[in-house]
Each structure stands twice: as C-alpha cells, then as structure tokens.
C-alpha cells in the first residue's frame, strides 16, 4: 500500500475529470478522493496497490476525452486508510 498526492493542471475542470478518476480508481482498487481546486487544477489523494497507483498516474497525463493535461505533480504521503473513493 502506498499513498500519493496528485495535482493535475490544464483544462481539467468541466470535462468530467473527477467522475472519470472515480471510475478508474474503483477499477484499480484505489481509495481516497478527488476534488477541483479553486485555482484550476484537480487534486487527488490516492491509496492502494502500487500497480493501481501507477496506472492512475499514467492515465492522469491524458484524462478523459475532453481534457488537456499540461502538468502532473506527484508527491508521496502518509497512509490515511481511506475506506472508499469519493468525488468531493
């Protein structure tokens, strides 16, 4: 188990990014949350098996069809033992 804080920049709000992240997270057994930040990016806290997190990070560089990702920042964090994955 590993915890990642992921911040995604670009045209990522208003393009179903958060809902898409939730579907992918559930598919890859990741728990945590995703939210829009007031200054434009999407922020994700994700915990799960390393393989699932790698898939999520890789997918985050593309996102859903209408998104245009310019930059992805990733930091490792402390486990918070989330129970599920939520859109906030």
- Active-site positions read 18, 36
3-state secondary structure of 32: strand
Strands (E), the chain: 2-11, 31-36, 42-48, 68-77, 85-87
Measured distance CA(82)–CA(45) in Å, rounded: 9
From the CB of residue 23, how many other CB atoms can be counted at a distance below 10 Å?
12
């Amino acid at each position: 188990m590993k915890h990642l804080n992921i911040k995604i920049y670009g045209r990522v709000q208003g393009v179903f990014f958060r809902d898409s992240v939730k579907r992918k997270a559930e598919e890859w057994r990741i728990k945590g949350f995703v939210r829009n930040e007031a200054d434009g990016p999407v922020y994700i806290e994700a915990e799960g098996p390393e393989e699932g997190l790698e898939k999520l990070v890789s997918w985050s560089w593309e996102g859903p069809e209408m998104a245009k990702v310019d930059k992805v920042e990733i930091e490792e964090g402390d486990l918070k033992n989330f129970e599920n994955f939520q859109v906030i």
